[in-house]
Structure 1
Amino acid sequence: MTDQPASQLILTAARHLAKHKLDFSRAELIDEVQRRDPTRHPQSLGPVIQGMTRYTTGGPPSPCGTPLIRVGRGRYTIADSSQSTFVLTQPISAMSTRISPGSAGFECPFGSWAGIAG
């Protein structure tokens, strides 16, 4: 058990995960927080994660700002470039309207953009 606020535990856990992978799931983030403090419940961490995530609404304002960036459904990275190599500078929804399938050398990881990009 730790006296750290949930936001600080989440930030520490996110930095740890970002050292080992480009992005991580919400479940992985919660698991890492619980590894550090088993008394923390997912139901109480969820709103704090939401409040720490850029371009989202809801959740309590975080004293450490919005260091998390949602990069896909249930997938996050950290905005602290000293801890991670990926930094998203605008919401994915804004990017998707400017990038057409196959443009700028982006290849679809599913083999085809048909039915995926609008």
Structure 2
Amino acid sequence: MTKEPPNWVVLKECAEELTHRGLTPFTRQQLITAVQSRFPDRSESSLNPMIQGMTINLKGGAPGGIGKEVFRSVGRGVFELRPQSARPHGAPDVSTTAREPARKQYSVVPSAPTPTNDLRPLILVSCVKSKRNQPAIAEDLYTSAWFVKAKRFAKAHGEQWFILSAKYGLVEPECVLEPYELTLNELRIAERREWAERVMQALRPRLVPGRHVILLAGSRYREFLMQHIEQHGCHVEAPLASIAGLGPQQN
């Protein structure tokens, strides 16, 4: 019977695979999911301490066979693979590539079609100006009180929600973004039309007649999106004024 590799080996291999695919930095959950896709019996409770123990700028964690030279934390729950992680004498070389990985700043929302009977509420929340100063998963990148309230509403009332980013378009809450300085208020009307078309390319497969779409966004984010969404037979609502404690979009 072939002996299964220890957690530290699998974590490093999966981190290298994510990096090779351009998913860098990656979230803790993305790394754990990658491990569990290969070894479903590896629990989060066993992997989390090992990730901590393999991260050079985090204290504590479970000791492994490679030390704390593998990962670097670049944000809350966000990591990157160090270019030249140390390898103890006698440990197997699990490196899959020697070249410096290309950094991918964001993950494009996959365009997998939505089942035709999927009428679950879909909530779209606009980005805001106030952000963290380091990479983070999208739902944690934006820091204004308004966004925090909008996110809380989206999680409580929507089966599915996305962020409308002025720079990246339609963004999954769990994808990693670099901080940026851009709002639709700074764009010309032609550029805002182009942005709306880009969002619709990713959103269109998820729109089916009768689906309820809630837009938690200011007028610049809604102006061209609403008509496009309604043309797909969806019921569109922009209830900022009617949601207690939320009100108009604020940065």
Q: TM-score, normalised by structure 2?
A: 0.34
Find the aligned partners of 1:37 and 1:83 in 2 and give their Cα distance: 27
Alpha-carbon distance change, 83 to 34 in structure 1, aligned in 2, over 3 angstroms: farther
Report the count of equivalent residues. 93
**C-alpha displacement of 1:63:** 1.4
Structure 1: gaps of 5 or more residues: 87-107, 113-118
The answer to whether residue 86 in structure 2 is matched with residue 15 in structure 1 is no
Q: How far apart, in 1, do the equivalents of 2:5 and 2:100 lie? A: 20
Counterpart residue type for residue 76 of structure 2 = R
Deviations 1:55-75 (A, max 9, x none): 111112221222111111111
Give the letter for the 2:14 counterpart: A
Give 1:43's aligned amino acid.
S
Q: Residue in 2 aligned with 1:73?
A: 76
Distance 1:34 1:72 in 2: 23
Q: CA deviation at 1:85?
A: 4.2
- Structure richer in strand, relative to its length: 2
Q: Secondary structure at the match of 1:57?
A: coil
Letter in 2 for 1:50: Q
Q: 1:10 to 1:61 in 2, by over 3 A?
A: same
Percent identical across equivalent pairs?
Answer: 31
Q: State the one-letter code of the partner of 1:5.
A: P
Q: Distance in 1 between matches of 2:61 and 2:3?
A: 22
Q: Which has the higher contact order (CA 8 A, sep 6+)?
A: 1
Change in Cα spacing, 1:19 to 1:43, as seen in structure 2 (3 Å) is: same
> How far apart in 1 are the matches of 2:58 and 2:64?
13
* Match of residue 36, structure 1, among 31, 35, 38: 38
Q: Which moved more, 1:22-31 or 1:72-81?
A: 72-81
In structure 2, C-alpha distance between the alignment counterparts of 1:17 and 1:70, rounded to whole Å = 15
Moved more, 75-84 or 5-14: 75-84
C-alpha displacement of 1:36: 1.1
Q: 1:2 to 1:23 in 2, by over 3 A?
A: farther
Change in Cα spacing, 1:42 to 1:2, as seen in structure 2 (3 Å) is: farther
Corresponding residue for residue 56 of structure 1: 58
Contact 1:18 1:83 in 2 (8 A): no
